Amino acid sequence: MRRIRTFFLCLLVVFLVGCHKVESRRIGVRFWKLPTYLGGGLSERVYRSGEVVIDYPIVTDLYRIDVGLRDVAFRAAEGTALRTRALDGNELTLEITLTYQLSHQPEKLLKLIQEVGRTNEEIESIVRSVARADIRTYMNELRTSEFIDSTSSYGALAKVQEKLNERLGPFGLEFQQLKLDSYRFDDEYEELLKRIQQFEEDVKRERERRLVIEREIERDKERAEGVKNALLKEAGGYRERRARDGENYLREKQNEAKSIRAVAEAEATALRQKVAALSGPGGDALVKLELAKQLLAKNPRFIVMNGGGSGEDQLTVNRLDANRLLEQAKIFEALVPSSPSSSGPRQPAPGAESRTPSQEKTPSESATEDGARPE
């Protein structure tokens, strides 16, 4: 009898006691299924990953919760996508991924299990409901055009994340990221948005093309400006050179004019002195002397100087051309009748020298002598 009692006691211990090891990324909390006055309720100890927990299946429950990063996805394929309206009334469907994790602080974990949920599925259900409400609240503040602008949509999601951390953070929920995966408007409006997007792309390309053209024009202007500056510089240098050449030429001509003026003044002074000398006593004698010098300079052959006239100081100077004198003598002889005594050789006229053919004057000498007339 005693052996039977021991056997049943051992069997009872085996059914009442069990050992469990907490898995990776999880925490464990024991719950005593006893009245509160007997110490029932949630244990204050939190078992970390890798710790061994002694479980009493009849009187305790072990809550094991994953505390790693978890994603809550709102997908159209799963029927969980968010349908909402923009501020200007257009309906759209949002696909969003929400990333969160549980806090490692024991106080917040105990509060989470007591007030939110005992399993990850219960916690995710609460998170999905709260996130859905906050996402609609803040995304409804955007206009249709602002959904296309990623900056505005990211700003609204940041507000949602801040609000979720404010509301669920005290329960040990930490929201890391909200990502807008896609948005889709109604079919008609979607087509209109595609056309608008195409127009915007065309405008963007046109602006880029215009920018390229403006840059090319700017480069052409710079090149033209460079050519202009080079021409202006060249023209300035040419003008300076011509100005210097003009100044040098003017200075040279001025010096030349001064020289000519000095020579002219000297000649005028000499002429005035000569005039003064000729106007004084003995002026006539000086004139005659100068006239004689000029005649002698031309090497005359026959010069006859006869004094005569009413005044004693008068002098007549005649230059004779021997060739003409001979011609005239021949003409005179032809006019006089010939006589027998004249058949002999003709004698030269008195005062005329006989000339051989080689001594006859050339026409140039005759012209030279003809050029001088009685003065």
Average pLDDT over residues 346-356: 44
- Distance in angstroms (rounded) separating the CA atoms of residues 128 and 196: 34
Distance CA(215)–CA(199), nearest Å, equals 24
Average pLDDT over residues 192-198: 80
> What are the pLDDT digits (tens) for 260-282?
999 999 999 988 887 777 777 77
The C-alpha atoms of residue 147 and residue 87 are separated, in whole angstroms, by 11
- Hey, what are 222's tokens? 């710079």
Q: What is the pLDDT of residue 217?
A: 94
Summarize the confidence of residues 16-41 as an average pLDDT: 71
Under 8 Å CB-to-CB from 82, ≥6 apart: which residues?
74, 93, 94, 95, 96, 132, 135, 136, 139
Separation CA 250–CA 32 (nearest Å): 125
Burial pattern 318-327, b for ≥16 Cβ within 10 A else e, equals: ebebbbeebe
d(CA 287, CA 49): 152
Instruction: Label residue 318 by pLDDT band (50, 70, 90).
Output: low
Report the percentage of the chain scoring pLDDT > 90.
26
Nearest partner of 317 among 306, 325, 308, judged by Cα: 306
Alpha-helix runs per DSSP H in 280-357: 283-297, 322-335
The β-bridge relationship of strands 91-102 and 315-319 is unpaired
**pLDDT: which is higher, 49 or 110:** 110
pLDDT digits (tens, 9 = 90+) for 99-138: 999 888 888 888 888 888 888 899 999 999 999 999 988 8
The pLDDT of residue 360 is: 46
pLDDT at 204: 92
pLDDT (mean) for 41-46? 76
Instruction: Choose the weakest-confidence range: 131-145, 308-322, 356-370.
Output: 356-370
pLDDT: which is higher, 302 or 56? 56
Mean pLDDT value across residues 234-238: 91
Confidence of residue 159 (pLDDT cuts 50, 70, 90): very high
Q: What is the mean pLDDT of residues 30-45?
A: 74
Q: Is the pLDDT of residue 342 over 70?
A: no
Contact between 31 and 41 (Cβ < 8 Å): yes
- pLDDT value for 370: 43
Q: Distance between terminal CA atoms of the chain?
A: 199
What's the pLDDT band for 3 if we cut at 50, 70, 90?
low
Residue 34, pLDDT score: 73
Beta-bridge mates of residue 174: 101
Residue with more model confidence, 340 or 4: 4
pLDDT at 10 over 80: no
pLDDT of res. 335: 56
82-86, 135-139, 290-294, 310-314: the lowest-pLDDT one: 310-314
Report the share of the chain in percent with pLDDT over 70: 71
Rounded to the nearest integer, the mean pLDDT of the chain is 76
pLDDT of residue 361: 46
The confidence band for 362, taking pLDDT boundaries of 50, 70 and 90, is very low
- The correct CATH number of 68-185 out of 1.10.357.10, 3.40.50.300, 1.10.3720.10, 3.30.479.30 is 3.30.479.30
- Sign of the Cα pseudo-torsion (106, 108, 111, 117, in order): negative
Largest CA distance in the chain: 229
Contact status, residue 23 vs residue 64, Cβ threshold 8 Å: yes
**Residues 164-178: pLDDT tens digits?**
999 999 988 999 999
Mean pLDDT of 149-164: 87
